Amino acid sequence: MQSQEIIKEIDSFWERKRILFNRYLTLTQRLKAGLEGENSIHPDGLLSQRQDCIHNIQKIDRSIAKNIKAGVTKFGSISKQVKRLIESYQQDLKMIMQAVVLEDQELMVCVQTERERIKTEILRMKHGRRATTGYRQNVRHAPRFLDTRS
């Protein structure tokens, strides 16, 4: 494989990976904004889209590993231009991943506060139900009258 082909292949893998990481970051931000109450969202759809991004990134990583394993000797003699290209993509991904980590940490705080809110709401409803059941008559058997005349 020639140097230009290696550059194109590496470029396509890293570019797709960068796009997927940006999409993951965007989905995380939308999910966080929805949990903070800025807009109404369905978190299950966003979570499945995020999972799809993770799955696609893993497929790209497997493809990169397979290509590197197949051409170890070829990649050993790659030019400085290719190495710089790889380093620049690594820096871009590192910056995106740092932003993702920060967003995920903030999202975890939002999820925990939402979880606590839901728990207190359920507890309040449970106490309300208990209070209303205390006013109900528990009639298990038909009443028996002792002064019946036969």
pLDDT digits (tens, 9 = 90+) for 39-96: 667 777 888 999 999 999 999 888 877 776 665 545 555 667 767 877 888 898 899 8
Rounded to whole angstroms, the Cα distance separating 91 from 94 reads: 5
Q: Output the pTM of the full model.
A: 0.69
Domain map of the chain by residue range?
3-131
Q: pLDDT band at residue 127, thresholds of 50, 70 and 90?
A: confident
- At the topology level of CATH, where does 3-131 sit? Methane Monooxygenase Hydroxylase; Chain G, domain 1 (1.20.58)
How far apart, in Å, are the Cα atoms of 47 and each of 26, 30, 59, 114, 145? 12, 10, 18, 16, 63
